[in-house]
Structure 1
Amino acid sequence: MTDPTPAAAPAVPPGEITDLVRRTPLSFVGTVTRTGGTPLSTVEADEHTAVVRVDHVLHAPDAFRRLAGSRVTVQLKADAPRLEVGDSAAFFTEGLHYGADLAVTEVGRLPAHAVRPHIALAATSADELPFSAVLREIHRQDLAVHAREADAVLLGTVTGLERLDGAGPRSEHDPHWWRAGLDVEHVERGTVPDRTVRVLYPNSRDRHWNHVPKPAAGQSGLWLLHATEGDQRELAPYALRDADDYQPAHRLAALREGM
């Protein structure tokens, strides 16, 4: 198995792991068991095709958390260094074929030693994958950006909910607009002149809208609000639009660092 030791290999630039995790849904440390071919009839093999035994899953959707020990077909990047049978590396990938067997496309690659500290740390927790902390940091960074782009960020409690019949155009994916009243406790960002602010939100469970928070009576927390436009402006000054528009109140301290 070929894997340069940390002393013999160049250091990974800061942020490279975070960037690769951000760009891909699945990464793993694996050992090449075959090159130039695949057992999958649905994948056309060439000189950049390899079969890789998964040694450690680094980050993955729930359905692929337990890939360790299985073999995956990897379509390698054409401009990446060539791999031979027995070589080990950390592969950052996106899906190519799903079924009884998995095939993925390589987006990036790092030496296996570059991720060993993450693997060692994750070994102390049965539920953690090696890049779980990286994913949390990515979410923290993205949430800070989202908060900076919001028109108002405030702590508040839902005091009332109201269905708005006929608000906006009807469509196959009708959002079913409702309006929530928020009793404002603290304004962190933006201008909220009144103690109670009205907020639109799509109450539909359609796939286009299901990710948007659905306020509940008495619910308290941190709200990231977006200014309404056009006809919606007459219904409420703000709306919920994104999955991250509601956060537990304790997240405010962490968000302050990035806003």
Structure 2
Amino acid sequence: MKPLILFFIVLGILSCNQPKKPTDADAAKFIFRATVERIRAATLPEISDVSNCIVVKVKEVIYAPPDFGDWTGKSITVSVKEIGRQKPDLEQVFYTNGWLYGKSLAVVERASRDSRKITNKQVLDGITAYQDQKVRDRLKSSELVVSGKIIKVSEEDKQKTDSEHDPYWMTAVIEVDSFEKGKSEDHTVIFRFALSYDVMWEGSPKFKVGDIGIWLFRRNPDKEKYFTITESEDFFPIERLSYIRSLLK
């Protein structure tokens, strides 16, 4: 049997029961138009409880993660919020997140819309607005936002690790080109980042001398001497400067 890749942790038996608090539809990672083929059914035998499952045929993929694969024309499983409103041949736009991937695909519905009442542009505009708001919120919570170039990277002295998951900290110095939020008399900013490829830190950005971009800084003044960048959402390529400025207005 081909192994399944879990998109999130499933506790207990594999079931199509919905989480209690579904999140915003525009936060969905996989959005597509599809026609309902079967009710209370699944395309993966590993799903033992199909009471809230439907099988749909994907007509068009509107939005998907990179390298997710093309599921156009294929039948997949959707764990739906309201099984009672589903019927064969009903065409909808499904806002979903990944659940299981094997010989077929199973996803979890965040929301669905009548396919006749929503265009691809409306879907994509909603995603853009959601993503813009996430960045806007991050900018609002930032103490300092700068553009510039890294001119120095060095190892931190006397590092002590208590676990193999502890990061190896590096210190970087940015030569600032512009202060987009906040000010400093010094035209350099010092920050820390984790030079670690452990699973806990693989998404943390790594930097080197010569890197150019935009950094969003925040810190806990009671615990941190320097700013720390550990999340990819706090760094943008310099080509996004106009975009960042538009959200700061």
Deviations 1:65-108 (A, max 9, x none): 41011111223223x65222211111122334321122223221
**Structure 1 CA distance for aligned equivalents of residues 89 and 196 of structure 2:** 52
The count of corresponding residues between Structure 1 and Structure 2 is 226
Q: Which residue of 2 aligns with 1:247?
A: 236
Unaligned runs of 5+ residues in structure 1 are 1-17, 120-129
What pairs up with 1:159-174 in 2 under 5 angstroms? 159-167=151-159, 169-174=161-166
Change in 2 beyond 3 A, CA 1:187/1:167: farther
Q: TM-score, normalised by structure 1?
A: 0.75
Percent identical residues:
26
Q: Which residue of 1 aligns with 2:246?
A: 257
Q: Which residue of 2 aligns with 1:116?
A: 119
Change in 2 beyond 3 A, CA 1:195/1:168: farther
Task: State yes or no: 1:82 paired with 2:85.
Answer: yes
Deviations 1:180-229 (A, max 9, x none): 11112221212323122221111112232232322221222222122354
Q: Which amino acid aligns with 1:165?
A: D
Change in 2 beyond 3 A, CA 1:71/1:201: same
Deviations 1:126-158 (A, max 9, x none): xxxx73x65444333322221221111112221
**Structure 2 CA distance for aligned equivalents of residues 172 and 197 of structure 1:** 29
Q: Which residue of 1 aligns with 2:26?
A: 21
- Helix, strand or coil for the counterpart of 2:238? coil
What pairs up with 1:192-211 in 2 under 5 angstroms? 192-211=184-203
Match 1:72 to one of 73, 76, 94? 76
Q: Which amino acid aligns with 1:172?
A: E
Unaligned runs of 5+ residues in structure 2 are 1-22
Shift of 1:32: 1.3
Across the aligned residues of Structure 1 and Structure 2, the Cα RMSD in angstroms comes to 2.7
Shift of 1:30: 0.8
Does the 8 Å contact 1:52/1:71 carry over to 2? yes
Does the 8 Å contact 2:24/2:110 carry over to 1? no
What pairs up with 1:86-105 in 2 under 5 angstroms? 86-105=89-108
Q: Which amino acid aligns with 1:157?
A: K
